[in-house]
Structure 1
């Protein structure tokens, strides 16, 4: 990635990973990502803020050379994960006089993960500052956004927040600043759903700290930057709230058509009743898309056949991931079919027990759905309608 100027003596020198399609062997990145790193030059000292994934360390070194960096006084590590700190060992060899700046938990993780000597690390606390000469770095401790050692760095004079993973997006783009938010919002929402959603309360606490400062530019560790911070702050306010929409998320898998028939029928029944429905065939769908939908869904209904004595493994995997993401969904249920019995419903409900959601009576049938089974699905649709109406009524009363 080319060196680009964010503001006077502040440079973006990270790397764009145009071809990455799977992050951490877990998260789909259909539009690649970037590993953003920054140089801040004061009149007396120079700081590098974060590094890049080790696969791009050569690019980082070249960019340092391009802006004439022959020495570094500080290397600020906001987060110990490889995509942020992976090039740190090489940089410490290249710049033996540089001090690593991190919070206490990050220092410990850097030692464990990257064998960084403890005496190379200067530990900072929330609100501590470093004066580079006309450029003051303030450190904002933001635990569990999304690791326990996460920190943000605020450049006071320029009003730039180097926000680490907060406000990021896995998006490879040549644009430095967001110019068309409609293009970026979907990837930012996907990023929030996959990475930040389990830590909504911690994100809210970090956002409060951001609100206490005059932030003119937000520069996250992934994706483009915001010179209009309200764009990302406004949608984060919605995503971190408890508000849900009149929407049912319906992830499903079907082996011989019985469950698919139930899903089709329930989908139509809900649509007829004025509820938005988003079904996802788990054998084909991207889990990132499902995660995004959970941000809005008032209800999740998982549909699965029985394999031996439990849910289809793909459905169980989806339930596990949904449980880990901890969406603000208010209601959950299960539909599906079996041949001779099993513990499908209980297994899925137990897996989703971490969600603060009410369980609506499932519709679990034997074989292909009969007329009686379709009546039960209609009853489920009616129940969901009533639950949503009550939820929306309480929401309106609360806002009034």
Structure 2
């Protein structure tokens, strides 16, 4: 089988040190994020949270300093090029990273090595949906940072890529009216993807059931902007016990995506906004068939007392198949259940440059998953569904 070139809907970018100096208006720079290279001390991941200390005498790492935040880059998020046992929580500098982590020209070269035509990249320092700026005290500067990041994303990271790097923008999560304005500002220059929290209440924000976010959903529907929700965009990962090793959170990482999808299916949001598109990133898909079966059963048997009789007129799976996309990169069970997952709903990702990334062996990994599927389905999974989801000007057949 000749695998078509991949359109990856979940990769990541390490922000260059010059980002805010170049893109943040001068009047905000002394209060905005500043890059620093210095030593790192204690660095642990406990109960779904990082515990980090700065130590000038420790091994060097590249940091961002912003208000009270001290944010170091870690080897597990810039893992490509390291052996599996070297993908640790140690600090790392950009000089030690593979240049494709932060340099767009080098990223395109790595995409060529990895059989990838186009890539959608989530942020790192701002966190998956811009929580860093939502938590800041000075919201005037925070808003300027969101806009600066988006300007850098559109004009520098994606600007010279010929459409191969797909812009994914942030919103100011703390103000829905500002969020709507940012959606329209970016849509006017061709952006069709925004990142959002899978579970906004975990960030202290209103739930999707309140109606607070409806202007945001309406703006996304109007502009054709896909709402992309990455695992961990609720600033927490599922854990069975507070002292469980990180491997437990890694195993359960899909749980928040499953909870978020149930939230949306029973919220009425997809009923009110029938052209709104949601995308779950890095959540895999093997869990989806039973989640849909259970949701439909609850709707059929329990909708009256369950509080959804008047807001969800059709079985919840109806809205999933119409409006929700999932993605996978290691999920043979999901591929085996593809008819229930939805051949038009599944997309593929490489997770470059994270520890989970299949780089540089993505083509082999993908072939192992799709062997035995018909050519049309393979094209849908590897690129066609992503092209349709994001409205990309790419050939669905690939090459």
| TM-score, normalized by the shorter chain, greater than 0.5 | no
| Structure showing greater relative contact order (alpha-carbon pairs closer than 8 Å, 6 or more residues apart) | 2
* TM-score normalised according to structure 1 size: 0.26
More strand by share: 1
* TM-score normalised according to structure 2 size: 0.26
